[in-house]
Amino acid sequence: MESTIRIQLYIFLTSIYGGLISGLAYDIYRTTRYYFKPKKIATLLEDLLFWIGLSLIFFYILNKSSGGSLRGYMFIGFFIGGLIYLKILSKLLFPLWLKLFKGIIILIRYIMKIIKLPFIRTKTLLLPKIKKASRLKRIPKEAFHEIKRYKRILSNKK
């Protein structure tokens, strides 16, 4: 009897843990939406993927802790865990997530700037030559038009 209560308590605490993980996943999702500001269709797809991910977390924890048996206190545990995270931990961790994502975005921009640098330098070196080549490319076309014009002028004088 005592071992059954311990198992039930373990399953309940595991479901609270799952609720905390779900709250953490929500905070990460909220942070990405804060920085990327998706459009309406992208928001729908992200929401769908988020809920699929949460259901996978729920069923994974459910399967690992209780072997797949479903009890009402598991839903209560998930709800309590999510509520604890959103009311207490989210106020502490959400600003940290924002700073972390901002740092990651700055780092990615810096890396992209370094990657683009050789291409920008090459473009600035080659741009005068490209302009000169485009002018040289126009010479035969302009000459052809001049020949046609002079031919018309000469044919009209006869």
Q: Which residues of 88-110 are buried (b: 16+ CB within 10 A; e: fewer)?
A: eebeebbeebeeebeeeeeeeee
Angle among Cα 48, 65, 17 to the nearest 5 degrees reads 60
Number of domains in the chain: 1
User: Which structural domain range is residue 43 located in?
Assistant: 2-157
| Measured CA distances, 45 to 54, 59, 84, 147 (Å) | 14, 21, 27, 62
**pLDDT tens sequence across 10-68:** 889 999 999 999 999 999 999 989 888 888 898 999 999 999 999 998 888 888 888 87
**Cut 0.85: pTM above it:** no
Q: Return the structure tokens found at 58.
A: 């729920």
> What pLDDT, in 10s, does the model give residues 58-115?
888 888 888 878 888 888 999 999 999 999 998 999 999 999 999 999 999 999 999 9
What CA–CA distance (Å, rounded) separates 156 from 158? 6
